[in-house]
């Protein structure tokens, strides 16, 4: 996820995000990446993450598995247009 964080301002960010989320999906505890992704979105509210983009597609796969609570916590910490959407 460090590469994702470091490339957030890159023109190739969405492509990089797709590559990274595809890799993370193979991890046994992939849900552990949800919090860092939400924090990345919180810390970069003006970045175009896509509509909704690879990061949202990734975290939404954990619907019913703890994602909702993590999303609510993110919105309580620092609501952004992307997390509220």
**6 band by pLDDT with thresholds 50, 70 and 90:** confident
pLDDT for the residue numbered 60: 93
- How many CB atoms sit inside 10 A of residue 7's CB? 16
Distances, alpha carbon 53 to alpha carbons 17, 28, 48, in Å: 9, 22, 9
What percent of the chain is helix, strand and coil (3-state, nearest 5)?
65, 0, 35
pLDDT in tens, 20-74: 899 999 899 999 999 999 999 999 898 888 888 899 999 999 999 999 999 999 9
pLDDT surpasses 80 at 4: no
pLDDT surpasses 80 at 2: no
pLDDT surpasses 90 at 15: no
């Amino acid at each position: 996820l460090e590469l994702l964080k470091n490339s957030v301002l890159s023109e190739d960010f969405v492509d990089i995000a797709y590559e990274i989320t595809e890799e993370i999906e193979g991890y046994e505890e992939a849900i552990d990446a949800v919090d860092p992704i939400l924090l990345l979105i919180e810390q970069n509210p003006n970045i175009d993450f896509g509509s909704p983009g690879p990061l949202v597609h990734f975290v939404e796969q954990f619907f019913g598995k703890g994602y909702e609570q993590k999303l609510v916590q993110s919105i309580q910490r620092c609501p952004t247009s992307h997390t509220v959407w």
